[in-house]
Structures are given as structure tokens and as C-alpha cells.
Amino acid sequence: MSTNPEILVYPTVEEAQAATASQIAALLAQRSRALVVLSGGSAPPGVFHQLCQAPLRNLVPWHALSILWADERLVPFHDRENNYFQTRQTLLDHVPIPSEQVFPVATYYPVEEAARVYQNQVEALLERHGGQIDLALLGMGPDGHTASLFPGFPQLEASPETLVAPVTDAPKPPPTRVTLTAHALNRARRVIFLVAGADKAPMVRQVLQGAYDPQRLPAQLVRPPAGRVTWMLDAAAARELA
């Protein structure tokens, strides 16, 4: 990447999750209000568990947070594949974030309408928060995708005013999704990529040390001009880094 992200490596995924939680709590503790973007996947629940427990729980101004999602699968709110459902079970039901400050994707709409509704919500929240996201917690797949920005997909070339895009043919199930675009994610003051597992190692090396090729490596698109990017890796995911 042409920017210089911070790269931190931990022996185990559990240690990477704990360190990520500590960084998030320390960042949010400094904010009187914060717009936060969360992600689904297998790694965030371990972070959320740490944030729900003392001492980190006591550092976070929960009442001051507004919550968005980097992407969402177009399945009902009670479906285990729904990122909001996962986050509710592992974080939101255990901390005092006011429900009116939680903004899940309206998955009961058709995908194009769900994306339009979320675009309006994201625009309104950005206006309320000075045009910036305070924190985005992201992951990366073995193919280099982040959020639901997949290699070679048209969402990678969204216009600058497009902050939210529909996805109808994702290469992993479920195929229908709504995603923040890189233009939205690049409004972040702080981005944390949490990536674990040996299956991610080749892509971690390509994204961090290879040539800039965002059509093939969508995670490279996340490079906020006024923000800081940190990669939190376990040893398995980092094993091919030079």
C-alpha cells in the first residue's frame, strides 16, 4: 500500500482480539460522542466479549455511541447470518447503548431500497458527526475483500457520493447484501483491520506488501486521507510478511 499502516502481530487470535478491544476502548474513552462502524465475521465477537467486561466496559461512553455496520447480509434480523443479530447477541444486549442510536440495515426491504435507506441514514449520521466516522472495525477475507467489497465487483468503482451500495451476486453466501463503499470507509479517523488465520496469510502479504491493485485487492481501497489504519494480526495471518 502507498500509505503506511501500523502492523501489530500477536501470538494468538485471542491476544489479537484482546489488544483490539483495548485499543477501541482507549479511543472511544477520549470521545464525547462517536460514530462507530462494526463488522460481522468470526473475530469480532471475541473483541465484543472483552468490551463487555470490566475494566474496558467502564472506559467506554456507551451512551455517546452511534453504531453502523460495514455491511449486512439481506436476511431477517433474527437470522444467524445477520451481522446485526450477531452483534446484538455478543455486544449490544450487554451494554447501555440507547437503541435509537443503533442503525441496522433494513433487511426487510428489497436490496436496492435497503441500500437507499441506509445511504440516507449514513449521510445524516455523518452530517451529525462532522463528516467523519470515528472508528471502523473491519476484517478481510482470503480473497482480499472487506465489508462486501469483492474483487472485480462494480461497487469498487462507486461514485464519490455513493456511500452505500447493493450487492446481488456475492461470491459467498448469502449473495444479496448491502455494503458501505470505500468512500464511506475512508471517512474514518481510525480503521482497525482484525485478521486471523493461516488462510489469510497470502492475502495479508499481498495487500500490505504487494503492488497497489484495488480491483484485485479491495482491502487496499481503505486508506482514509485523514485517518490512521492499524492491522491487528495473529501470528498465523502474519506468517508470510517479510
Domains for the chain: give ranges and CATH numbers. Answer: 6-238 (3.40.50.1360)
Edge-to-edge strand list for the sheet holding 71-73: 71-73, 177-180, 164-167
Q: Are strands 34-38 and 135-138 parallel, antiparallel or unpaired?
A: parallel
Query: What pLDDT is stored for residue 187 in this prediction?
Result: 98
Output b/e per residue, 68-106; b: 16+ Cβ within 10 A: bbbbbbbbeeeeeebbbbbbbebbbeeeebeeebbbbbb
pLDDT band with cut points at 50, 70 and 90 for residue 3:
low
pLDDT at residue 47, as a whole number:
98
Binning pLDDT at 50, 70 and 90, where does residue 167 land?
very high
Mean pLDDT over 72-85 rounds to: 97
pLDDT, position 218: 98
pLDDT value at 124 more than 90: yes
For residue 181, pLDDT over 70 is answered with: yes
Distance CA 39, CA 104 (A): 11
pLDDT for 41 equals 92
Mean pLDDT over 86-101 rounds to 97
8 Å CB contact between 36 and 134: yes
**Residue 142 DSSP symbol:** T
pLDDT for the residue numbered 242: 87
Residue 169 pLDDT > 80, yes or no? yes
pLDDT beyond 50 at 15: yes
Residue 2 has pLDDT above 90, yes or no: no
Convert the pLDDT of each residue in 37-49 to its tens digit: 999 999 999 999 9
Residue 1 pLDDT level (bands cut at 50, 70, 90): very low
Q: Quick one: average pLDDT of 57-78?
A: 98
